A and B are shown apart, each in its own frame.
Chain A
Amino acid sequence: MNKITSLSDLKQLREDIQSRIKLREKSDASDTLVQIKVGMATCGIASGAKETMNVLIEEAERQAIDVVVTQTGCMGFCYAEPTVEVTIPGRDPVVFGHVDKAKAREIIDHYIIQGKLIDGIIPVEFKTIND
């Protein structure tokens, strides 16, 4: 593939990809997809939330699981950044703390794919020092 240098190159690439793969029917209906929210406030970014989000997107694609990865603000757990909230359809959202690259892979492999609970969950009833 040639180097992509302009939007018309990108359009070319789109046609290439579309002829190669049949797009999965992907609905935006959030109740059927796993939702991942990465805390991307000052505290998160400073702790490496950007790398975490990149790994989550890459891993989800590599494992071919349908997830929506979005950004959210600070959840008040600045001491545990980067934080990630995972919502598996039909279950309560779970917030994980200290999500570095390895932890991000573990969340996808163990929590999302196998449904096992793993270390690093921030309990819902947890109160911050300000409460």
Chain B
Amino acid sequence: MKTIADHILDIIQNSVRASASRITVEIRESIMNDKYTVEISDNGSGMDKMTAMKARDPFYTSRSTRKVGLGLPFLQQNAEQSGGSLQLFTQEGKGTTVTATFGLTNIDRPPSGDLAGVFILTAIGHPHISLFYAHHTEKGSFSISTPELKETLGELPLGSSEIRKAVTELILHNLSGIGAS
């Protein structure tokens, strides 16, 4: 994966497969600690102990269509290469939280990428899931969610180009306002 946004788009699909109805993406950037933390949590089915132990294994997958499962291993590799780590917390029946920590200024940290695009595409691609996104820096915080957007937009479809453009603008403006990298 070339960007952190791509990783987020990818890990969110795990939550979707675990039949989550609520997914939260939280990014914390700290210049002081030189850390870039991405936390993706869901209220999906979670994993039992054995599955959770195998989740980082690239040759383990819950699918039968192929023999590899590279989403988490790739994320772990990118996190570790930039001086960070990957943490997995899961409770069967309650949900899963994936936390990837990167070195903020490390040369091997992938760039943030198209965070706004990922939020919008996930919202369009999975209209029945409530998606929450929060981004914190030392300058401030920004958050947006699909329930909030639905309330604001009413029956206007999020997929229409005008709306997509406006929401992208909203997210980018606020992200640059808090100095997100």
Q: Which residues in A have some Cβ–Cβ distance to B below 8 Å?
A: 3-7, 9-11, 13-14, 17-18, 23, 26, 38, 40-43, 45-46, 50, 53-54, 57-58, 61, 69-71, 73-76, 78, 128, 130
Contact = CB atoms under 8 A, between A and B. Distances in A.
Contacts of B154: 14, 18
A55 to B, nearest CB: 12
Contact of A76 (B66, B156, B160, B169): B66
B166 A41 contact: no
A71 B13 contact: yes
A109 B120 CA distance: 25
A71 B118 CA distance: 12
Interface string B166-180: 110110011000000
Interface residues of B, number: 45
A16 to B, nearest CB: 9
B124 to A, nearest CB: 7
Nearest to B118: A50
Contacts of A6: 170, 174
A84 to B, nearest CB: 12
Interface of B: 1, 6, 9-10, 13, 16-17, 63-67, 69-71, 74, 114, 117-118, 121-122, 124-127, 148-149, 152-157, 159-164, 166-167, 169-170, 173-174
Given A4-B173, A7-B148, A42 B125 contact: no
Contacts of A61: 159-161
7 contacts: A3-B173, A9-B166, A41-B10, A42-B74, A54-B117, A57-B161, A58-B161
A84 B154 CA distance: 29
B161 A75 contact: no
Contact of A69 (B13, B125, B173): B125
A4 B170 contact: yes
A126 to B, nearest CB: 12
Contacts of B70: 42-43
Contact of B9 (A40, A75, A130): A40
Nearest to B160: A61
